[in-house]
Amino acid sequence: MSPYLLGLRLSGRRVLVVGGGRVAQRRVPALLDAGALVTIVSTSVTHALDDLIATGRVTWEARRYQVGDVDGAWLVQACTNDRAVNAAVAAEAEAKRVWCVRADDKDASAAWTPASGKVDEISVAITAGGDPRRAAGIRDAVVGALRDGTVDARRNRAKPVGVALVGGGPGDPGLITVRGRQLLAQADVVVADRLAPQALLDELSPDVELIDAAKIPYGRYMAQERINELLVEHAKQGKFVVRLKGGDPFVFGRGGEEMLACAREGIPVIVVPGITSPVAVPAAANVPVTHRGVSQEFHVISVHVPPGDERSTVDWPNLARSGGTLVLMMAVERVGAIAETLIHDGRSPETPVMVVQDGTLPTQRALYATLSTVAERVSAAGIRPPAIVIVGDVVKVGQEVEMVRAERVP
């Protein structure tokens, strides 16, 4: 027969756990989170349980189970690796009308411990007919859907207000943060960048207003001032607005300007950092931006104007002399001028360079070059934005990784 599910409020109530192994180690923390007064009866305990005992959160009686241990308990967990002991514990609990969970025999157990999870004020408990693996899998799916907003988000009465500046990550929709995805599912209005994960927009509810704030290189774009106005206008109408950006809102994302615009109008702002492309895209191409013995510093540079332009604030001579890794954003169209400048200011023409287009996406592609050849190779390969240029010896680490993997292929 199906079990009768019940949420036990164990705060201040004694719970007996017989056994101090891995099963007890999994169950005791949840009992403590519920406020239970936990007593463990076992000749030995795991290191994790020993830590809880040392901090006074759990009482440990270092001995074997004996009749009478159940007295005063509201709930019993029989978690030893000895079926006879578990049966004896369960029999005593049954005789004294105390609920007992047997870890070794679901059919002989008076109660089952569900696979449980909690998201904010929502608790989830799954039994799945006493099959713990299946229950855990279903629990994980439900909890994940609650966390990312797939379930419940738009029916939640406690919906956020104002504007959320959400970093969508480098492109792969799976790399947005849990918090970012949750807020996106709660939005009334989404103002999206061209580099925001486009696949996530298909998941929006039909009643969500989607505003395209794309800035196409050398093409159409929405002025930043207009974006700021839209955020303010919709928020003042009582709508929850998500500004969805690629990467991180505060790394060449003009998130600071949008936050200031909202602050001047008294609109609350939630900032959700994102996985930033200057680190994530090289990693996706097997290139670490720092590596022991190779580079202990890296610089992220926006090259929306070329070296020598009066609008540029970049200290190119210092970067050339630094020897650290350079990660260049918005640099593809100006990579020739950048390479010439770095060589002129002291970087070796043979410095390794990698250019990665569409990083983290299925269309990702990369090419290797040096400072002296990168302009020609980028042109020949037809590399177009969005792309990231990595300059430095860490590029050799990525090549070494590929060589090692190739050698291991049978």
Known catalytic residues are: 193, 215
Distance CA 296, CA 204 (A): 42
Contact 166, 250 (CB under 8 A): no
Sign for the CA dihedral angle at 222, 223, 227, 232 comes to negative
β-strands 298-302, 269-272: how paired? unpaired
Q: Which residues pair with 38 in a beta bridge?
A: 15
Distance CA 150, CA 144 (A): 8
Q: How many C-alpha atoms does 50 have within 13 Å on its Cβ side?
A: 7
Distance CA 274, CA 271 (A): 9
Give the number of other CB atoms < 10 A from CB of residue 275: 21
Detail the DSSP E strand segments found in 132-203: 163-167, 189-192
Contact 101, 132 (CB under 8 A): no
- Tokens 């009465």 locate to 157
Contact 335, 364 (CB under 8 A): no
Detail the DSSP E strand segments found in 115-154: 115-119, 122-126
Length of the chain: 410
Q: Distance from CA of residue 21 to its chain's centroid? A: 31
